[in-house]
Amino acid sequence: MTSKTSETLKPGEARCPGPSTHDIVMADAMPPPPEFMANHYDYLGSADVSYDAYLSPDFAAREEEQMWSKVWQMACRLEEIPKPRDFIVYDIADTSILVVRQDGGSVKAFINSCRHRGMQLAKSGARGHAAMIRCPFHGWTWDTKGDLKSIPCSWDFPHVDKTEFGLDPVHVDQWGGFVFVNLAVSPPPLRDYLEVLPDLNLPLPMERRHIVYHVQKTLAANWKISVEAFLEAYHVLATHPEGLALAGDANCQYDVYGKNVSRFLHTIGFPSPHLAAERDQAQILAALGGEEAGLSLKLGERARDVWANHLRKIRGPDLGVDLSSVPTTQMMDSIEYYCFPNFVFFPGVNFPMVYRFRPVPGKVDETIFDLYFLAPTPEGQETPPAPETIYLGLEDPFIEAAGMDARLGFIYDQDVENLRQQTRGIRSSRKAGQTLGNYQEIRIRRMRETLADYLS
Ligand code: FES
Ligand SMILES: [Fe+2]
């Protein structure tokens, strides 16, 4: 095999010097199946990507009309509507959707608007239980299947045929314990839309997890700026420098599977290439917490393997699951899957987050950001119901949210600060768009191409 020099590399072929994420993970004492680490990257060009998409109310209107109305989007987790006749309201742009658990356990979704005079049947943000769906304005009532059952003073509505006044259905489907909705008349099957996700074969499948924490915060940036901030690890060097001692960044692996789904995987317990020369394995183990845990390295052992083993032993009984065969990368690393347009989840044990980003209607510079932490559901146990949501306003930091993990709250606040400043900078810019890295920012380019496909 001939190795390529920087002069002979084509655009998109260059990678950070030093061990790649693939090298590190496949050398783990407990590596994942090779297909899990397979590289999926295609060069998609280097042209600047327009700023106008973040700033223009017209662009936001086109997104609503041509994109939000056609994509599969995560409306809730099943444990948010655990019992028959539980409901939750999912709003996207100007459309409000009522998601209802059915008597047999399946899920239906309806446009959240009364067929009488348009009242919302349940308020935005509501979650609860109702034997029947009764409009709070005049009391028209539907069953949870969406069939109209009663109209107060029905003598006044001889022109209303009840069979024609069912609630307007919305397509709904599930994967991994997540409920997805799609407002299109004939959407593609969810399974196709999710590309590689249904075949992931995770050792702890997403449907065997549950929400243990949910915070919803308004962000001071367009929803795409907000999503994009979480699609690359390039920013770790400048934004989260305290993470470099333990986290990969420039050597992060990026995979783009199709138009909708992409992934990054960056290692923990192996220093950033920016610092690699300055850290030995004993120092890394100490930084991971090895000293307090009484851990030491045998000859040739890597800190990351020793720490992963420790986590399997400690966290398994804690979580009530057997972690003994979970690969090191899924124990330790930051593995993030993104599904267009606004759904992100981390299937790892130590980084168990889910994100969802939605535009605030009428405000191009604001985003509703849902951050969930999921835990594996203990073996042999029913999924516990979801906890109450904690709400944070534009100015409320994550670090002050009740019950927030202090380490992660600090990191999210660093990211949130960037969003506001980037938005301000973009508004001032004399440039027409952002200039993306060919590899490290490929997921952003893919996302914007998929969006452009919907809008074209
Ligand atoms: S608007 Fe719903 S019953 Fe009148
Ligand atoms: Fe970040």
Convert the pLDDT of each residue in 299-352 to its tens digit: 999 999 999 999 999 999 999 999 999 999 999 999 999 999 999 999 999 999
Mean pLDDT for 17-31 is 96
With the most atoms of ligand 1 within 8 angstroms of its CB, the residue from 96, 115, 119, 167 to mutate is 119
Q: Number of H helices and number of E strands within the chain?
A: 11, 20
Q: Do residue 104 and residue 50 come from a single domain? A: no
Spatial CA neighbour of 110 closest among 164, 169, 166, 68: 169
* Residue at 404: amino acid letter: M
Mean pLDDT for 47-51 is 97
* Residue at 304: amino acid letter: R
Mean pLDDT for 172-185 is 98
pLDDT for residue 51: 97
Q: Do residue 289 and residue 414 come from a single domain? A: yes
The answer as to whether 176 is a domain residue is: yes
Q: For residue 7, is pLDDT > 80?
A: no
Q: Do residue 397 and residue 261 come from a single domain? A: yes
The answer as to whether 135 is a domain residue is: yes
| Strand-strand pairing, 133-134 and 73-77 | unpaired
Q: Do residue 210 and residue 269 come from a single domain? A: yes
pLDDT grade, residue 1 (50/70/90)? very low
Q: How far apart are CA 108 and CA 115, in angstroms?
A: 17
pLDDT for residue 277: 74
Mean pLDDT for 33-58 is 97
* Percent of the chain topping pLDDT 70: 99
Task: Domain count for the chain, please give it.
Answer: 2
Q: How far apart are CA 124 and CA 111, in angstroms?
A: 12
Q: How far apart are CA 264 and CA 232, in angstroms?
A: 7
Determine the structural domain holding residue 151 and report its residue range.
Answer: 73-191
The answer as to whether 166 is a domain residue is: yes
Q: In the sheet that 133-134 helps form, which strands lie side by side, from edge to edge?
A: 133-134, 141-142, 148-150
Q: Do residue 164 and residue 259 come from a single domain? A: no
CA of 228 from ligand 1 middle (Å) equals 41
Mean pLDDT for 231-240 is 97
Q: Do residue 179 and residue 286 come from a single domain? A: no
CA of 232 from ligand 2 middle (Å) equals 8
pLDDT for residue 117: 98
Which tokens is 117 given? Answer: 């005079």
Q: Do residue 171 and residue 77 come from a single domain? A: yes
Q: Which of 146, 163, 191 is at the close of a domain? A: 191
pLDDT for residue 2: 42
CA of 275 from ligand 2 middle (Å) equals 18
Q: Do residue 174 and residue 253 come from a single domain? A: no
pLDDT grade, residue 8 (50/70/90)? confident
Q: Do residue 338 and residue 297 come from a single domain? A: yes
Which tokens is 411 given? Answer: 């990191």
Mean pLDDT for 98-127 is 98
Q: How far apart are CA 147 and CA 115, in angstroms?
A: 11
Ligand 1 proximal residues by C-beta, below 6 Å: 114, 116-117, 119, 135, 137-140
* Percent of the chain topping pLDDT 90: 95
**Left, alpha or beta for 304 (phi > 0: left; psi -120 to 50: alpha)?**
alpha
CA of 92 from ligand 1 middle (Å) equals 22
Query: Among the listed ranges 5-19, 177-191, 394-408, 434-448, which one has the minimum average pLDDT value?
Result: 5-19
The answer as to whether 6 is a domain residue is: no
Q: Which ligand has the shortest distance to the CA of 238?
A: 2
Mean pLDDT for 387-391 is 97
Entry pTM: 0.96
Neighbours of ion ligand 2 (CB under 5 A): 415
| The dihedral formed by the CA atoms of 331, 259, 76 and 187, expressed in degrees to the nearest 10 | -150
Which tokens is 34 given? Answer: 């090779």
Mean pLDDT in the chain?
A: 96
pLDDT for residue 69: 98
- What one-character DSSP code corresponds to residue 80? G
